[in-house]
Amino acid sequence: MHFRLLSRLIRLAAPVALLMLVACAPAPIYKNTAGAIDAAPFQVAQTPERFAGEPVIWGGRIVQVKNFPDHSEIELLAYPLDSSQRPKANDSGSGRFIAMMPGYAEPLDYRTGSLMTVSGKLSGSRAGKVGQANYVFPLVSVAQSHVWTAEQMRQGHNNISFGLGLGVGIH
């Protein structure tokens, strides 16, 4: 009797729990462009001419910011994006790229170590170095960019878990 009641409660609660989890995740910040490529920066770096002019939505951790008279360049270590287009920084990096932005990018707004997502078009590549190693950086002409706050990164990641039994958790 108790088992059937418990089973019925679980069947009723499961859809509600799933709906709550889906509702917690923020929506993507950029419209997915139909032609946006799925290739990672390290893949594009191998044959950049094949991807020239293609739209991308990439994200990663800011490595450095360089300002020039007419534009700024932000080097990022790329990470895969989640469904909200936030970089998944706990995954392994998928190469580096340079986000080319018009005007001046204030380094205090684009702090080293911050997570960022950009939307734009691939505009070639540039040879450079990471430490002493030679490296090919895909270049992205940025149309839109977003630097994620710690609070935004936590949104949709709750500390709720479902299961049977009794437990104690400290967060």
Residues forming a β-bridge with 118: 58, 145
Report the pLDDT value the prediction gives residue 13, as an integer from 0 to 100: 47
- pLDDT tens for the chain, 171 residues: list them: 554 544 554 455 444 444 443 444 455 555 565 678 889 999 999 999 999 999 999 999 999 999 999 999 999 999 999 989 999 998 888 999 999 999 999 999 999 999 999 999 999 999 999 999 999 999 999 999 999 999 999 886 544 444 444 444 444
Nearest-5° Cα angle at 114, 109 to 117: 90
What's the one-letter identity of residue 137? Answer: F
Place of tokens 């939307």: 119
d(CA 147, CA 108): 11
Q: Which domains does the chain carry?
A: 41-154 (2.40.50.140)
**Do 55 and 121 contact (CB within 8 A), yes or no?**
yes
DSSP structural state of residue 161: -
Place of tokens 């360049």: 73
Residues forming a β-bridge with 100: 73, 141
Report the pLDDT value the prediction gives residue 27, as an integer from 0 to 100: 56
**Which helix (H) or strand (E) segment is 151 a member of?**
helix 150-154
pTM over cut 0.95: no
